[in-house]
Amino acid sequence: MKNIVLFGPPGAGKGTQAEIIKDAYNLFHISTGDVFRYNIKNNTSLGILAKQYMDKGELVPDEVTIEMFNEVVASNLDCNGFIFDGFPRTTSQAMALDHLMNSNNTNISAMIAFEVEDSILISRLIKRGETSGRVDDSNESIIKNRIKEYYKKTAILKEYYQKQDRYYGINGEGKIEETSIRLRKVIDSL
């Protein structure tokens, strides 16, 4: 299996790039943000809980996120590999992911990170907010809080994967197609 973690701050392009490469490599795409939004739309108890955090740009608590994530992975194990988009976001989540992969006799092939300037992230998210209908894209202070959460809790994961020689940083600025080419080059080298 080729299991890839796409990494980077909100607005870096993880979701966009995941959609492009999933078919090319026949991988199953899991976006924890999408799973939460699906639950919110369907008014499930998970959705009601997650919404309180998401609307403010905060992370949903680890216990809730990890349990939900494990369930989604377990029900899609018959694929060539996964693209993880938006997970892990904390060290506990990264450890839970390694544990889950190991217990299925596989591992994380790479964390591929999109490097993008904050000012570009903010303008991308504001633009997306014009059509996404997402509460967390609708207001600059919530967007800034999401980026702050990333630097406070998530960016540290770069070190976690670097120590295991599994970290690859790529330039995520410029055109979508340019980033896709850089991304494919890394995936092909794995």
Active-site residue numbers? 14, 89, 128, 134, 146
Give whichever of 51 and 165 is closer to ligand AMP, judged by the CB atom. Answer: 51
Q: Is 36 in the site for ligand AMP (CB under 6 A)?
A: yes
The span from the CA of 37 to the CA of 152, in Å, is: 23
Among residues 4, 12, 18, 60, which is the contact residue for ligand AMP, using CB under 6 A? Answer: 60
Long-range contacts of 51-59 (CB under 8 A, 24+ apart): 54/135, 54/136, 55/135, 55/136, 55/142, 56/136, 56/142, 56/145, 57/136, 57/142, 57/143, 57/144, 57/145, 57/146, 57/149, 58/145, 58/149, 59/89, 59/90, 59/149, 59/153
Give whichever of 57 and 129 is closer to ligand AMP, judged by the CB atom. Answer: 57
Q: Is 89 in the site for ligand AMP (CB under 6 A)?
A: yes
Residues 151-190 touching ligand AMP, rule: CB under 6 A, are none
Q: How far is the CB of 188 from ligand AMP (least distance, A)?
A: 25
The DSSP H or E segment spanning 161 is helix 157-163
Give whichever of 157 and 189 is closer to ligand AMP, judged by the CB atom. Answer: 157
> Is residue 61 reached through a cis peptide bond, with omega within 30 degrees of 0 on the bond before it?
no
Residues 61-80 touching ligand AMP, rule: CB under 6 A, are 65
Give whichever of 159 and 181 is closer to ligand AMP, judged by the CB atom. Answer: 159
Residues that bind ligand AMP (CB under 6 A): 10, 32-33, 36, 53-54, 57-60, 65, 86-87, 89, 93, 136, 146
